Amino acid sequence: MMELLQFLGVFGGLALFLHGMQMMSSGLEAAAGNGMKSVLERLTANRFMGILVGALITTAVQSSSATTVMVVGFVNAGMMSLDQAVWLIMGANVGKTTTGLLIAMDVGALAPLVAFAGVAMMVFVKDSKMQHIGQLLAGLGILFIGMDMMSAAMEPLREVPAFVSMMAALSDPILGILFGTLFTALIQSSAASVGILQSLAAAGVVEFASSVYILFGQNIGTCITAVMASFGVSRDAKRATCVHILFNVIGTAIFTAVVMVFPLTAQIESVIHDPMAQIAVMHVIFNLATTILLLPFGSRLAKLASRILPDGAEPVQTGENGMRLTYLTPVTAGGKDGGLGVSVIVVGQLRNELHRMLEMARQNVDASFTAIMDRDTAPLERVEKREQYIDFLNKEISRYISHLIAIETNERGSKVVSCLFAISGNIERIGDHADNLAGYTKMLVKEDITFSQFALEEVRRMRDISIRAVSALLSSDAGHADWLAQVAQLEQKIDDMTEDFRREQLVRMRDGTCSDEACILYSELLTDFERIGDHVLNIAQELNKAHTAL
């Protein structure tokens, strides 16, 4: 019964540790996520700056996995080259050692006070920025409370023969590395697994000389999150993950040989007597020394990753009739991987996909109005195919954004993504109205209905201003305040033209120059024309909101 309670204490402490880490990451992301991602996005090819930035960001979020997933996302988005990613990944491996150092420094004594201060800020302070900082502090406090809880629960385990025998078996280098890799891959947190190892060492359950092999394996196991994030991404993004794995595998091979040949562990033990500090120092030495050793070979690491994953025909994920997303990876391939502030990584990709969708809608508006003027049904098959493509893109983009909103923790990021969601729906509605226009051409031909020359001239004017309005959304100035005012003027012009053309239609009806069938059809056409203007303005307003939020 006591053994069961001890294991429950370990699991409870681990739960608090992981939850605290998640709170820290979310709090920091909400408070300063856009700033951190902006630094990454603008990073130059300077290797030392890349390592420094990677280390600092990983230290801040206490998760090398979050930094590496961000890097994979940036490479996938084309915002960063593979060579730049190498330095950030090296920096992330250095930065992840800080958790072990903090644990070894026994700052856990202050954990309850830090947690209380953080919760107080979250509950009593109204400023959202301070609430996010409070969340970060609360997470830090909970993390160390969980660490202390694990340590207390593990101490009696040194009296359990079966557990001691199992840990003794891990003194074999291969078994130790394998155990460390699998355990870290299972919980997806090297910080947590290293913390558990430190607790075991502090409890006297595992010797330092044996623990180093487990520690080396933990560095490999932390790659699992990046591996999962690389499913369905570009070839270069996969190579970034490969670099992450190569870094830790090479480091493990080197240090395993060093520990087996030279008395490195004995030297550390002679200088440092605290078991937790011994593991923390070895963790730092492993990652810092591996970074220094591989620093001259960063570009070669990238080339080796390219040789392991050579260029080839990557599978293109398509929908029915060959329709596909060009800039986005379908959600089904991405699983639940989010990473830190994923919205900023993919906003550019989403906008490119929406730009592509809007261009199809513009072509359909042009072709449909022209078909009415020419009484020509030949282009309508292409209009129908584009309309089906627009519907497909709207469905896939909406599914992608719904997934993104569910995992996005940054308030501004959520606002931008919500704007893009609304834009996709409005583009789809423009496509529907263009499809309605195409249907009027079929009716004109089938029922032998003829518009007067006056009406056809009005249709031409409708087409011209509709194309101007939709094309304005594709402008490089899209999102700015002056641009929004220009689009609003175009939309007002469409409303005014609709009123004028309805009055002209009434005059033609009184004069008897417009048949009943033509009048009904023309009225429907005017409604679609006006609705196109409404949706154009809706898109412009959402683009402006997104631009302001960014």
Q: pLDDT per residue over 240-268, tens digit each? A: 889 999 999 999 999 999 999 998 999 99
Regarding whether 410 and 283 lie in a shared domain, the answer is no
DSSP, collapsed to helix, strand or coil, labels residue 295 as helix
Regarding whether 422 and 536 lie in a shared domain, the answer is yes
Regarding whether 301 and 180 lie in a shared domain, the answer is yes
Regarding whether 249 and 357 lie in a shared domain, the answer is no
Asked, for residue 314, whether it belongs to a domain, the answer is no
For the cut 80, the answer to whether the pLDDT of residue 473 exceeds it is: yes
For the cut 50, the answer to whether the pLDDT of residue 517 exceeds it is: yes
Q: Which of 253, 283, 308 is the last residue of a domain?
A: 308
Regarding whether 367 and 284 lie in a shared domain, the answer is no
For the cut 50, the answer to whether the pLDDT of residue 337 exceeds it is: no
Asked, for residue 327, whether it belongs to a domain, the answer is no
248 CB-near residues (< 8 Å, 6+ apart) = 93, 219, 220, 222, 223, 290
For the cut 50, the answer to whether the pLDDT of residue 336 exceeds it is: no
For the cut 50, the answer to whether the pLDDT of residue 17 exceeds it is: yes
Regarding whether 472 and 537 lie in a shared domain, the answer is yes
Q: How many domains would you assign to the chain? A: 2
Taking Cα atoms as reference points, which of 286, 297, 246 lies closest to residue 94?
Answer: 286
Asked, for residue 324, whether it belongs to a domain, the answer is no
Asked, for residue 333, whether it belongs to a domain, the answer is no
Asked, for residue 469, whether it belongs to a domain, the answer is yes
Regarding whether 283 and 380 lie in a shared domain, the answer is no
pLDDT score, position 25? 63
Regarding whether 351 and 465 lie in a shared domain, the answer is yes
pLDDT score, position 62? 65
Alpha helices by DSSP H, 125-234: 128-154, 161-169, 173-187, 190-202, 208-221, 224-229
DSSP at 314: P
Q: pLDDT per residue over 282-295, tens digit each? A: 999 999 999 999 99
For the cut 60, the answer to whether the pLDDT of residue 417 exceeds it is: yes
Q: pLDDT per residue over 183-204, tens digit each? A: 888 877 777 788 888 888 887 8
Asked, for residue 316, whether it belongs to a domain, the answer is no
Element (H, E) at 451: none
pLDDT score, position 442? 92
Q: pLDDT per residue over 276-331, tens digit each? A: 899 999 999 999 999 999 999 888 898 999 999 887 544 444 455 668 887 776 44
CATH code where residue 545 lies? 1.20.58.220
Asked, for residue 370, whether it belongs to a domain, the answer is yes
**Chain centroid to CA 275:** 38
Asked, for residue 226, whether it belongs to a domain, the answer is yes
Regarding whether 212 and 97 lie in a shared domain, the answer is yes
Q: 324 pairs with which residues across the strands?
A: 318
Regarding whether 276 and 363 lie in a shared domain, the answer is no
Q: If you average pLDDT over every residue of the chain, what do you get?
A: 82
Helix, strand, coil: what percent of the chain each, to 5?
85, 0, 15
Regarding whether 447 and 384 lie in a shared domain, the answer is yes
Regarding whether 360 and 299 lie in a shared domain, the answer is no
Give the domain extent around 140. Answer: 2-308
